[in-house]
Amino acid sequence: MREIIFDTETTGLDNREDRIIEFGGIELVNRFPTGRTFHVYINPQGRSVHPEALAVHGISDAQLADKPVFSAIADELVAFLDGAHLVAHNANFDIGFLNAEFGRLGIGPVDPGQVIDTLAIARRKHPMGPNSLDALCRRYGIDNNHRVKHGALLDSELLAEVYIELIGGKQAALGLEVEIQVDAANGDGDIAVVIVQRERPLAPRLSAAEAEAHRALVDTIGGDAIWRQVDQAYLDASTP
C-alpha cells in the first residue's frame, strides 16, 4: 500500500483567500519510507503572509518572492499524490487548502476516501489528549528537539513516525498487515490489524549438526533437564 504523509504551510487560515506557501510530503510503501519525497516553497502570488502565520512557520514574503507559483508545480504534485492514501494531521485543514489551489486551476478535488486524519485517530486512541504533533512525539519518544518552527517536510517526517505508532507501532514489520477503512465523510480511519499467514513456512535455520549437538548437550545435563520438556517433534521438524 502506498501512502503520502504530508503537511502544508500557508499564508493564513482561510483557504478561500490564503495560499499554500510550502508543501512537504514523504512516500511510504507498506508503512516503510521509500526515500521519495516532494518538497517545494511556493510564491503566493501577491498574498502576504499573515503575521500570526509567520510566527508559526517563519516563512517571510521575501523568502517566497523568487519561488514558483502553484500552477508551475501542480502537475508534479498531482503525479506525486496520484493513487496514494494521503495522511495528514488535522487533514481537513491541509486538504481544504489543496482543494482550493486545485480548484483555481480546474483540477478535481482530492478523493475524501483517500484521506487519513492522524488527529482523528489520535483523539480516539488518546481521548484525554493532548494530541498535537509535538505532544504525540513526546508520548511516543520521538525526538523533535530540532523542530523550532513548523516546516512542512520536517513535520511530515515526524508525522510518519507518529503515524506508525498510532496504528500499532513497528510490529507491522513482523508479519502483521494493518488495514485502514476510511470514512469518506470526514477522513477518519478505523484501524484493524490482520495477521497474515505465510503461503510457505520459512526455511529452517537449525542445521542437522546443530540439532544433534543440542541433543548431545541435553544428554549431559541429565534426566531433569528442562529441555527434555521440549517436544522432540519440534527439533525434528526444524532440521532440514
- Measured CA to CA in angstroms, residue 99 lies from 54, 72, 103, 105, 224 at distances of 22, 16, 6, 10, 71
Long-range Cβ pairs for the range 160-164 (8 Å, 24+):
160/5, 160/26, 160/28, 160/33, 161/137, 162/89, 162/118, 162/122, 162/133, 162/136, 162/137, 163/5, 163/87, 163/118, 164/31
Cα dihedral 139, 141, 142, 146 sign: positive
Burial class (CB within 10 angstroms; exposed 0-12, middle 13-18, buried 19+) of 27: buried
Give the residue ranges of DSSP H helices in 14-151. Answer: 51-57, 61-64, 70-81, 91-104, 118-125, 133-139
The whole-angstrom distance between residue 236's C-alpha and the CA centroid of its chain comes to 42
The C-alpha atoms of residue 166 and residue 87 are separated, in whole angstroms, by 12
Q: For the chain, what percentages of helix, strand and coil (3-state, to nearest 5) are there?
A: 40, 20, 35
Q: Given 57, 85, 89, 150, which residue is catalytic?
A: 150
Q: Is 150 a catalytic residue?
A: yes
Residues with catalytic roles: 150
